Amino acid sequence: MNGPGFYQSRLQRPGAVLAPMAGYSDAPMRQLAAEQGALWTVSEMISARGLMGGGDTEKLNLGRPYPGEQGRVVQLFGAEPEVLAGAVARAEAWFAPAAIDLNMGCPVPKIRGKGGACLLQTPETAYDLVRAMRSATALDVSAKIRLGWDHDRSVEVAQGLEAAGAALVTVHGRTSAQRYTGEADWDAIARVAAAVKVPVVGSGDITTPGRARECQRTGVAAVMIGRGAVGNPWIFRALASGQDAWPDARERARTALRHAELQEQFYDDDTGRLTLRPLRKVLPQYLPDFPELRGPLTQVLTAGDVRQVLAPLLGDGGAELTPARPAGYAVSHS
């Protein structure tokens, strides 16, 4: 379902959301998460100015859907209302998203002054951006924030976003200054969820279904999973179905190979990403209990290479491998 009410309709069912992660939540990863029952997925963040500057086209891989993709939210970043409004219209025309999200949480220094977490220092600008984005589309517009720039002002910011017309607010339980250090503050997220009427999605440090359910009890409408879903799309299946069974090594190896095959299929164009170099950081996380595979998997160039490395687990011959430690949701995937 596209159009107004997308978030409310998806939140009627159990499950979790795939977070936007630069370098990770591209089309192949979104496809695997969606197939395992993610409530929705969010694209890697896209520069609004880049979309409007003429250099990008509808073939832009950051926004381009995989064939048949649905339930995908496109995330934009920027700091100028007129540019964001134009980018929303262009993203809707090119990428057929289910909703549009404003990035207010990226702490990376290179985008300072261009949006991201910088907006937490001047939230009034963010409210203007949301209003401008809403004026450009009938789709739901949401925003993803951190607790603040260097101290917690998340309740104030979330209330301002709600007043500006945001249909949903996602809160990552750290300040921008923290980057990814320390622990996510779920008490702060709970305060936001209690302070606004729109749905609040909570994010931070979820690597197991059990932890996701604990966080769900803080009053959020859903949880968003980032690093905990890398090499682990089954966490969405567990939360959608209530069945926490950890896949055996063969299923995980088959999915790692499928991820590689999807990567080759999606990037089969002139982008220069025809090799699997971007997946070298991902593939070993499917099989953390087989550390001897890490080295070979970080050298692969093609899906054929992945098949060869994983042959003992795929049942394609070769010496059998023994897990170095028990696998399961107790294994960290962060």
Sign, Cα dihedral of 173, 158, 114, 281: positive
| Pairing of β 41-42 and β 72-77 | parallel
- Beta-strand runs (E) in the chain: 17-18, 41-42, 46-47, 72-77, 99-104, 140-146, 168-172, 200-203, 222-225
Round to whole Å and give the CA distance between 87 and 127: 17
Decide: helix, strand or coil at residue 253: helix
Round to whole Å and give the CA distance between 288 and 327: 8
Q: What is the CA radius of gyration of the chain?
A: 20
Residues 6+ apart with CB under 8 A from 312: 318, 319, 320, 321
106 is catalytic: yes
Please name which of 192, 197, 232 lies closest in space to residue 211, comparing C-alpha atoms.
232
Cβ(73)–Cβ(100) under 8 Å? Answer: yes
Identified catalytic residue from 19, 106, 164, 303: 106
Q: Which are the catalytic amino acids?
A: 106
